[in-house]
Structure formats: C-alpha cells, structure tokens
Structure 1
Amino acid sequence: MDEPTNTDLSQAAAAMPRGLFVYMLLYGGMTVLAGVLAFKQVQLPPTDLAVEAGIFAFLALVVISSTVSQLYGQSVANRIVLWGFVPLGISAVLMQLVLALPPSTEMVTFRPDDLAAFEQVHHSTWRVWLAGPAAYLTSLLLNVWIFSKLRGEGEATTLGLMVRGAIASALSQAVDSLIFITLAFYGEFDITNLLIGQVIAKVTLSVVLVPFLIAGGVALAKKLDRAG
C-alpha cells in the first residue's frame, strides 16, 4: 500500500469539520486542566455540598464527548476519549520531571512559601495518579455509550438531546465518583460521607448544567461547520 502523500494529508485535514477540530483542541486542554483544578474543593451554594473543582473541567469533557457523538458519531467520540490519554499522560510525566528538578536559588531564597505550596499541591500519591485515569476512561466511555444508546431513530429534538445528556452525564458521574474515591482513598479513612457528597454534587451539576451546555455545544459546532 502506498504511503499517504502530503497532499492526501492536507486534503484529509481540510475535510475535517471545523467544529470537530475546535472541540478536539478543547478536549485535550480540559483533560489536563481537570487534574490541576481537582486539588481544590468548592462549596455549591446554597447547600453544604462540596465537590472537587476538577468537576467543572470534567463536565466540559462530558459535554464535548456528547456533542461529538451527536454530530460526528459514537466511534469518533470514543476515539477522542481514548486519545485524551495522550495530553493527560504527557502532563503527568512533565509534572514529575518538574518536581524532580532542583528549584532555582532565587526561589529557595526569596519565595520559599511559593515553592512549598507548589510541591505540596502537586505531590500526589500513586493511588491518586492511578485512580484519575481509571475513572476518566470508564466514566467518559460510559457517558458516550449511554448518550448514543438513548438516541433512538430519527433526528433528536433539542429537548430530547438535553434529556439524554442529563441522564448519561448523571450516571457516568456517579460511576466516576465511585471509582475515583474508592481507588484513591479506600482504607485510608471512612469514605462514606465523601462518596455520598461527591455523587450528589456531581449528579446535581449534571442535571442542572449539562443539558443546556450540550444544546449550546451542538449549536456552536453546527455554526462552526457552516462557517468552515
């Protein structure tokens, strides 16, 4: 079989819908950002429920994967989820490299508090490093699968799109919490309250935010495709 020429590759790249191209870029960035934001827990007013802040970037991943599945097919969405491991893995390796390198003399002398805070935040246990990717892969593939299975025949209405997005996101987020918290913290302390709180908070956000975000995401992708 002949190797693809530069012209073939250029034509293939030009044929990619602009909406898909933009969402692929956003997806890679969100996989990295989700891990960074996860170090802070935020309160969801007016309740006392707390959730790790990485959920906001993770919900963006849910919205993007659902939007891609809706417009470009389940197999394309699954490939994006799997390829999301690339920026996630590279960022993890780079973080370990940065932590292993010695800090500058200037930082040790004049900014020791900044150095200590950086290292304290980004030094995670091996269980957390393993729990994140495991929860990511399982929950996002599950989200795409449920979202696609609920589609049925014919063109979905906006309301149907939003309902499917809410159901798929709520179920996948519950599974994500169960996997991550169990793998990362089981045996170190009683995880019952943390697990219940995370599930309730993530399911609530999935029902309140995701349906509207997916509807908006689909509309934006269609607009980008028309403009392309």
Structure 2
Amino acid sequence: MSEPAPAATPAAATYTIPRALFVYLLLYGGMTVVAGVMAYKQVALWPTSLAVESGIFAFLILVVISSTVAQLYGDAIARKIVWWGFLPLLVSSLLMQLVLNLPASVEMVEFRADDLAAFERVHSQLWRVWMAGPAAYIVSLLLNVWIFSKLRGSGEGTTLGIMARGAIASALSQAIDSVIFITLAFYGEFAIESLLIGQVLAKVALSIVLVPPLIALGVGLARKLDSKPL
C-alpha cells in the first residue's frame, strides 16, 4: 500500500495586475517627480503677460491617469495611487538632499564650476517647492478623483460623458491646486498675482481643452493593453 502524498506546501500568493494599470503606475510615479522639478521654471503665456509654472504639464498627466484609473478600476484604486504617489516624491527629495550635501568631484569644481553653482543654486532653493507640491498634490488629485467619480453616477457612461466629467473635475481641482501651490511655494519671494492668475487660467483652459481627449485616449489605450496578457 503506497503512502499518502505529502501535503502541498502553501504557495506564495500570486497577484496579478492589469497591463494598463501597471503601465500607468510607472508613468504616474515618474510624473510626480518630474512635476516638482519642472515647477521651478515659470513660462510666459504668449501673447499675454501672464505666467505659469512648468510643472503644470506633468501634473495634468497625473490628472489624466488618476481619472482614467478611476473610470476603469474604481475610485478606491485611484485614491490608493494618489496616496502612493507620495513615495517617489519622498525618495526623490531625500536623494536630492543627499546629492546636495555630498562634495563635488575635483574635476567638476575645477572645470565646471559654473554648472555646479547653477545646479546647487536651483536645487537648494527647491525646498519650498518640495513642501508645497505634496500639499497641493494630495488635495487636488483626491478632489479630482472624488468629483470625477461623483459625476459618474451608475454605469460606464459614454465617451463624451467621460470627457465632460474629466473636464469638470480637472478644472475645479486644478484651480484649487494653483492657489495652494503658488501661495505655499512662492509667496514672499515675488509678487505672485500674475503667476497665480496665469496658473488658474492655464490649468482651467487646459483642463477643458486637453484633459478630456487625453482621458478618452487613456481609457481606449488601457482597454487595448488589458486585452492582451501581461
């Protein structure tokens, strides 16, 4: 009589993630870091005298991704992505402080002193941006997900409906983001009225014009990616 087979050792839990969600997670983490770095430069809004901080372009991608994720995978997953977006922000800010405090190479000090001075001057002054960014980030993106999901109602909705919800949610949340970020990052450094007005106008305009088709594109791309195995 043969002995009974030994009980199988419980295997480690296997987790699967949709291909599109995986891709958007990678892109989202990168954009949280890039938005903070780009925010140091203000660009003019031709032909007006208004200005906008350059981080807006990366930040609008965050809005598109969070709305796309909320549409396809639910607002609970979208909120988790927003909260986890703090991790690359934290790690990158700590790494920047490490790099700033490490001594530069002899070759750079001797032959590239201007580059070194520019690097340290810009990044050593980013602390207010790094502080303001997370505050504006968490408020505006959680608000975006909440508004986008609340406007959804029941059902998946049409493409036009998704685009309209995206425009409304993005415009409202990004207006709030502008007030928080500009005030915390630059108040007292210079007159912020022009920048603040330009930021609000630019984000609202881009939210209406650019965000809706990008969300529709993001949803369509995600469905194609998810139709194939990871």
The amino acid across from 1:197 in the alignment is: G
Computing the radius of gyration from Cα coordinates, the structure with the larger value is: 2
Q: TM-score by structure 1 length?
A: 0.91
CA distance in 2, matches of 1:155, 1:126: 42
Is the aligned partner of 1:61 residue 2:66? no
| Structure 1 residue aligned with 2:210 | 209
Q: Does 1:226 align with 2:214?
A: no
Moved more, 60-69 or 15-24: 15-24
The equivalent of 1:31 in structure 2 is 32
Distance 1:113 1:187, change over 3 A: closer
Residues 1:91 and 2:92 aligned together: yes
**Where in structure 1 are there 5+ consecutive unaligned residues?**
none
Please state whether the residue corresponding to 2:227 is helix, strand or coil: helix
Q: Could you say if the C-alpha distance between residues 171 and 111 of structure 1 is closer, same or farther in structure 2, counting changes exceeding 3 Å?
A: same
Q: What stretches of structure 2 of length at least 5 have no aligned partner?
A: 1-9
Tell me how far apart the structure 1 counterparts of residues 184 and 94 of structure 2 sit (CA, whole Å).
Answer: 21
- SS at structure 2 position matched to 1:42: strand
SS at match of 2:12: helix
Q: Distance in 1 between matches of 2:180 and 2:202?
A: 16
Q: What is the rounded CA distance, in whole Å, between the counterparts of 2:121 and 2:47 in structure 1? A: 30
SS at match of 2:43: strand
- Corresponding residue for residue 133 of structure 2: 132
- The one-letter code of the counterpart of 1:114 is D
Cα gap change, 1:74 to 1:7, in 2 (>3 Å): same
Is residue 7 from structure 1 mapped to residue 8 from structure 2 by the alignment? no
Q: How many residues align?
A: 220
Which of 43-52 and 174-183 deviates more? 43-52
Q: Deviations over 1:131-178 (max 9, x none)?
A: 111001100000000000011122211111111111111111100011
**1:66-85 alignment runs, 5 A limit:** 66-85=67-86
SS at match of 1:152: coil
Task: State the SS of the aligned residue for 2:157.
Answer: coil
- TM-score scaled by structure 2? 0.91
Q: How far, CA to CA, are the matches of 1:29 and 1:80 in structure 2?
A: 13
SS at match of 1:227: coil
Cα pair distance change 1:103/1:134, threshold 3 Å: same
Structure 1 CA distance, aligned partners of 2:113 and 2:222? 46
CA contact (8 A) 2:40 2:129 kept: no
Q: RMSD over aligned Cα, in angstroms?
A: 1.5
On the 8 A contact 1:49/1:201 being kept in 2, the answer is no
Question: Mapping of 1:111-122 within 5 angstroms?
Answer: 111-122=112-123
Post-superposition offset of 1:198: 1.1
Question: Which string of whole-angstrom CA distances, capped at 9 and with x for unpartnered residues, describes residues 48-80 of structure 1?
Answer: 432111111111100000000000000000000
- The match for 1:173 is 174
Query: Aligned pair in 2 of structure 1 residues 39, 183: CA closer, same or farther (>3 Å)?
Result: closer
- Equivalent residue for 1:19? 20
What is the SS of the residue equivalent to 2:152? coil
CA distance in 2: counterparts of 1:163 and 1:120, whole angstroms: 42
The structure in which a higher percent of residues are helix is: 1
Name the CA distance, whole Å, in 2 between partners of 1:183 and 1:151.
32
Deviation of 1:6 (Å): 5.6
**2-side partners of 1:226 and 1:114: how far apart?**
48
